[in-house]
Amino acid sequence: MGRRTILIALVVVLLVLWSSEGLQHRVGDSIWSIPPTNNFYKNWSSSYIFHTGDTLYFDFDSGLYNVLQVSRGEFDMCTGYEPYKTFIDGPATIPLLMKGVFYYVCNVSNYCALGLKLWVIVEQT
């Protein structure tokens, strides 16, 4: 095998690795905190397309905020009694593994009611 063949093979491998790498979305393009308007996170998530393999990056300080993955019902009610997953330590990097709709709230104080909640539609890559 010539040097050139090896180089081409290497480039192909790198391209494949790169294209299968998901995107990281910094939630709200900002820190995860009480937003300026109630529909801020709704607006944010509708501005992007999320795919399996991507990650959500919730940028917050532990203790001040948290992220709970909850059901649609708890999302609507802004509660976190039976979370599917709890992320106490910030910042939290959450992989989007499956196609579907996923709901997240912060259950510190009344922050969720103030708009600190997010839902995303994840499409198959």
- Binding residues for ligand NAG (CB under 6 A): 29, 40, 43-44, 47, 68, 80-81, 83, 86, 107
Tell me if residue 40 falls in helix, strand or coil: helix
Q: Sort strands 92-95 and 55-58 into parallel, antiparallel or unpaired.
A: antiparallel
Please give the Cα distance from 1 to 47 (Å, whole number).
Answer: 47
Quick one: 81 or 95, whose CB is closer to ligand NAG? 81
Smallest separation, CB 23 to ligand NAG (Å): 14
Q: Where are the alpha helices (DSSP H) in 1-125?
A: 3-20, 40-46, 72-77
Tell me the two tokens of residue 118.
């997010």
The DSSP symbol for 28 reads: G
Quick one: 19 or 47, whose CB is closer to ligand NAG? 47
Smallest separation, CB 28 to ligand NAG (Å): 8
Which amino acid would we find at residue 91? P
Smallest separation, CB 27 to ligand NAG (Å): 10
Quick one: 45 or 96, whose CB is closer to ligand NAG? 45
Quick one: 82 or 123, whose CB is closer to ligand NAG? 82
Smallest separation, CB 34 to ligand NAG (Å): 14
Tell me the two tokens of residue 90.
């910030």
